[in-house]
Amino acid sequence: LSLLTVVDAKMHLYFNDRFMGFGFSHSQRCYTISHCLDDHSKDSEWSGLSRLAKIAWYEDQYCAGASIARGGSKGSINFKGTKLYNKVSSFMVQLESLYPTDGMVDYCHEKSELNINTSTNATTLYFD
């Protein structure tokens, strides 16, 4: 039995009056996003996590450096006034460990399904 699956999880990261949406189905997998977002991050919201899971955001690439983690199947966080305001470089869903035991993804250099909606300034990426 593996605890590495998160069913239909989604996260939005807001920056510069726009947001980027992420869909993913794995915990313990680090997603580096700094190359495409230039570390801009104001707040975030998520849904679809296991009630036992936490989502963690990191200042450095590959889920390293200063971090903030929040639990719950859904929620939101405002980074203003925190060490990660305009500095989020990566994120990971933590279920059984603080480490990315299910690998790392740099979505700027990996294939992904991209859906851009220019009328709402939104971009959505889906990972497996």
pLDDT at residue 12, rounded to an integer: 87
What is the rounded CA–CA span in Å between residue 89 and residue 65? 10
Instruction: Name residue 102's amino acid.
Output: D
**Per-residue pLDDT at 85:** 93
What's the pTM value of the predicted model, to 2 decimals?
0.80
Q: Say which CATH architecture domain 5-126 belongs to.
A: Sandwich (2.60)
38 Cβ contact list (under 8 Å, min separation 6): none
Q: Could you give the CA distance from residue 115 to residue 52 in angstroms, rounded to a whole number?
A: 30
The model's pLDDT over 38-82, given as tens digits with 9 standing for 90+, comes to 667 899 999 999 888 999 999 999 999 999 999 999 999 999 999
For the chain, which residues make up each domain, given as ranges?
A: 5-126
128 pLDDT higher than 90: no
Residue 46 forms beta bridges with which residues? 11, 75
In the prediction, which pLDDT does 114 show? Answer: 41
